[in-house]
Structure 1
């Protein structure tokens, strides 16, 4: 079983993973300092332990501190999250996700952003040299 399939991440766990990816490695205190509306230090340690049990982070010791780093690369984690999003909300179909993004009733995408999406799709369809 893929490590990412062992359990989905909570909002807080995703925030912690974002911090670890951004910093490269971090102590529990550094994670706590970078969290919005941070929980207690012991709660951060518990969340890091949960992430470790899910195979998302590993730790080593530097002096007296545990230092955490990602166990899988960010690209693989992102791909797994997108696959989960597709399976959960869009029948596993990327076109359903894109259709939701391009919904005319939702003005969250500008014309420039839509043009950029079109270009990405067109570039993807071009034969490789």
Structure 2
């Protein structure tokens, strides 16, 4: 089972990964086309190569072009990134991270969101017993 890579990503690298996760697979030209304020084609290719070296992407040859795919499913990459964020900024405290998110004025949680969070909290309580 593949582990999510641990190397932190730059802003542009995160944008590229988002494009590839959204599309499932993409060529350098497709990535460049999907980016807002895109860098040059050669810069996109260089960034894709860096992401591959960091272990975030792999490529397959499709005729003369490389098609890039993520090495780890998005949900696993998300969990790994979130875990790293909680460790780095909240001393490993999930409660502090959740409290910070809920305290954000921009969180705009709907009643449905709050109900879902309540259910998740209940499930966590049951699992602890």
Same fold (TM over 0.5): yes
Question: 1:111 & 1:66 partners in 2: Cα distance?
Answer: 42
Residue aligning to 1:4: 5
Residue aligning to 2:122: 122
Counterparts of residues 26-45 of structure 1 (less than 5 Å): 26-45=26-45
Runs of 4+ in 1 over 6 A off after TM superposition: none
The answer to whether residue 109 in structure 2 is matched with residue 110 in structure 1 is yes
- Contact kept, 8 Å, 1:15 with 1:35, in 2: the verdict is yes
- Alignment size in residue pairs: 124
SS at match of 2:107: coil
CA gap 1:122/1:39 in 2 versus in 1, 3 angstroms: same
Give the TM-score, by structure 1 length.
0.85
Root mean square deviation of aligned Cα: 1.9
1:111 Cα deviation from its structure 2 partner: 5.4
Give the TM-score, by structure 2 length.
0.85
